[in-house]
Amino acid sequence: MKQWFRKAALCLALVLSVITLAACGSSNNKTVESIDPTIKSALEQQAMQYAEQSIYKLSAEDIQKQIDTAFKTKDAITYNGLTNYINSIDRLGSFVSVDSAEASKTEEGYRIEIDSTFQKRVLKLTLGINEMTGATTEMTFEPVYSMSELMGDAAGNLVVGMGTVFAVLIFIAWIISLFKYIGVFEKKMKESKEAKNKAAAPAPAAAPAPKAAPAPAPAPAASDDTIQAVIAAAIAAYEADTEGSVSDNNGFVPGPTLNNNLRVRPLRNRSMVSAPAETAPASSPVVTSVAPAAPLAAPAPKAAPAAAGSQGSIKVEAPMPGKILAVKKNAGETVKSGEAILILEAMKMENEIVAPQDGTIASINVSVGDAVESGATLATLD
């Protein structure tokens, strides 16, 4: 019973973990905040126009030129997106129409999904726009396939995958079958090495015969007179009266003196001991260190450019994020309603920013090359 409860608790924990991960994944796909309806409509119209005029209605040669340009400028997003599109043209067929677009707000800026109809199937284009710079951050083309096409592709992938697995397993089994020859190969190599060592080894040299020890020199023969004198001296020394004898300063006890002035006495051994020399201890090493260099000071930030002219009462704002391509009017000039003041590049298209009414330009708040956000004040009128 306890084991059953443990299994049930483990399964419940696993299910809760999966649900939690799914919830986290779905929460990451949510938009950061809602988008203004005016900006949303403008983005959707611009995206549909861009998809139709700049991609779908172009020939394959013109699209390939855009791909080459993106490769030279290292625009990986455009390069990968258009390469994917040109590889899918055969499955899409000819272009029919752009149906709809849906813009949403993301953390980096905006995301626009465009649905288009082709001769064979529907194509979904997803564009990402950076809110600060107006640059393209995402471009993906997703053809919509039918269920039969998906099942056919899945079956083909399954067959290819199973064939690859079987081929790998057969190869591994063949490699394992060769292991039995490793011991035989090692044995032959060892025997061959031993045979070579025996052939290269020199013959052992014969041991030299031991030299004969030299014969001892014969002792000189003593004469009869000498032998008789020694025996007589020994007898005389034994019989001599040694009582009351005193040792000399060298520790010898004087013996009796014979007629030939021969004195017999014992000898004493003497030895000398030398003291070992002392060694001087080695000197200890000296360790030095180097202090690290001081860090460099950080450069001072650049100051932002000031707006040209005084501020007017009527503001001319950017309808979408983009980059300033040209400034057609200067502060102090008069303009009429609908007359172009600036050129704004957004989604690779030029957009004229016009005067909302007649008046005089009080200030130009941007310069050529500036990146502006949606709603930024570009100029003011009086």
**Cα–Cα distance, 317 to 306 (Å, whole number):** 17
pLDDT: is 308 or 21 the higher one? Answer: 21
Sign of CA dihedral 38, 41, 42, 43: positive
Residue 222 pLDDT level (bands cut at 50, 70, 90): low
Does this model's pTM top 0.75? My answer is no
CATH class of 308-381: mainly beta
Instruction: Return the amino acid letter for 363.
Output: S
Contact 128, 110 (CB under 8 A): yes
Task: Tell me the per-residue pLDDT of 297-330, one tens digit each, with 9 for 90 and over.
Answer: 444 433 334 444 578 889 999 998 999 999 999 9
Task: Tell me the per-residue pLDDT of 237-246, one tens digit each, with 9 for 90 and over.
Answer: 656 544 444 4
**Cα–Cα distance, 72 to 96 (Å, whole number):** 31
Q: What is the pLDDT of residue 126?
A: 95
DSSP state letters, 213-231: PPPPPPPPPPPHHHHHHHH
Task: Tell me the per-residue pLDDT of 29-71, one tens digit each, with 9 for 90 and over.
Answer: 444 568 889 988 999 999 999 999 999 999 999 999 999 999 9
